[in-house]
């Protein structure tokens, strides 16, 4: 059971847009920055979004992040077959057992 | 270029210890932290903890307290993660990642190692 809740899977056709949600609480998302990671099959995770909505250099603007209250959302537009991957949200949890936390991951299928 | 290169795969027996290394290059090692994240077969990411390469301060996931130790060697820009009393459910791919912690805020993990497979089996 992950601290952050993501849908197990989402799907959309090439060229379409998809959003992936990440739900938490006031001790994590509500008071900390959210980051998003893409993990292609058999590879290490890759940072897509940091500080809620900022993209590292080299990440196309098809990827966007937003946060509202205790939830965050990753958006991907102009879907490509190469976007098929697992996507994870992550943040810091400031509760008594303070530490990093991840969502359970969302498998994106580009139909 | 900025990169983290990890040590090779390990096979250990239950009860043993494993020590994984993570060599950084392309940036000032002591200006960032290093975190460790593991992924069991077919499962999601699990945060294990992080260490400040500046002062050696650590923060470990509660479930691993007492079994994990993270250290750094600033002379070689290398971070280490040792896990003791290994069990079968410690079988996983272990990743190191550059940990962006500034002003008591966590921004993300922007550079990842290639992963080290640790298999625990009798």
pLDDT digits (tens, 9 = 90+) for B68-89: 999 999 999 999 999 999 999 9
Look at residue B105 in the predicted model and tell me its pLDDT: 87
Per-residue model confidence (pLDDT) at position B104: 85
Instruction: Look at residue A1 in the predicted model and tell me its pLDDT.
Output: 81
For B5-26, letters b (16+ CB in 10 Å) and e give ebbeebebeeeeebebbbbbee
**Token pair in block for residue A89:** 């949200």
Q: What average pLDDT does the structure give for chain B?
A: 96
Cβ atoms of B50 and B60 closer than 8 Å: no
Tens digit of each residue's pLDDT (9 = 90 or more) over A7-20: 999 999 999 999 99
Task: Select the residue of A33, A50, A103 nearest B110 (Cβ to Cβ).
Answer: A50
Task: Compute and round to an integer the Cα radius of gyration of chain A.
Answer: 13
Predicted confidence (pLDDT) per residue in A47-61, tens digit: 999 999 999 999 999
pLDDT tens-place string over residues A28-41: 999 999 999 999 99
Written as one string, the DSSP assignment of A38-96 is: EE-TTS--EEEEBTTTB--TT--TTEEEEEETTEEEEEE-S--GGG-EEEEEEEEE-ST
Do B45 and A33 lie within an 8 Å CB cutoff? no
The verdict on B50 touching A (C-beta cutoff 8 Å) is yes
| d(C-alpha A14, C-alpha A3), whole Å | 31
Distance from C-alpha of B102 to C-alpha of B80, rounded to nearest angstrom: 22
The answer to whether A35 contacts chain B (CB < 8 Å) is yes
pLDDT band, residue A109 (cuts 50/70/90): very high
Task: Give Cβ neighbours of residue A69 (< 8 Å, ≥ 6 apart).
Answer: A29, A30
Q: Residue written as tokens 């971070």?
A: B79
Tell me the C-alpha to C-alpha distance, in Å, between residue A101 and each of A21, A36, B44, B88: 15, 12, 11, 23
**CB nearest to A102's CB, from B45, B49, B100:** B45
């Amino acid at each position: 059971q992950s601290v952050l809740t993501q849908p197990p899977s989402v799907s959309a056709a090439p060229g379409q847009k998809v959003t992936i949600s990440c739900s938490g609480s006031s001790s994590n998302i509500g008071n900390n920055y959210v980051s998003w990671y893409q993990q292609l099959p058999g590879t290490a995770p890759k940072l897509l979004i940091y500080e809620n909505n900022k993209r590292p250099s080299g990440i196309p603007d098809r990827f966007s992040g937003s946060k509202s209250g205790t939830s965050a959302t990753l958006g991907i537009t102009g879907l490509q077959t190469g976007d098929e991957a697992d996507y994870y949200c992550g943040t810091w949890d400031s509760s008594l057992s303070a530490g990093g936390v991840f969502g359970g991951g969302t498998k994106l299928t580009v139909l | 270029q900025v990169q983290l290169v990890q040590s090779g795969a390990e096979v250990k027996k239950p009860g043993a210890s494993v020590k994984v290394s993570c060599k950084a290059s392309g940036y000032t090692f002591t200006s960032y932290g290093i975190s460790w994240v593991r992924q069991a077969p077919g499962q999601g990411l699990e945060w294990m903890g992080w260490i400040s390469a500046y002062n050696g301060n650590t923060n470990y996931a509660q479930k691993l307290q007492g079994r994990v130790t993270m250290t750094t060697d600033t002379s070689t820009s290398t971070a280490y993660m040792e896990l003791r009393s290994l069990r079968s459910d410690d079988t996983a791919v272990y990743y190191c990642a550059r940990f962006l912690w500034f002003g008591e805020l966590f921004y993300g993990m922007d550079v990842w190692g290639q992963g080290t497979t640790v298999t625990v089996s009798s």
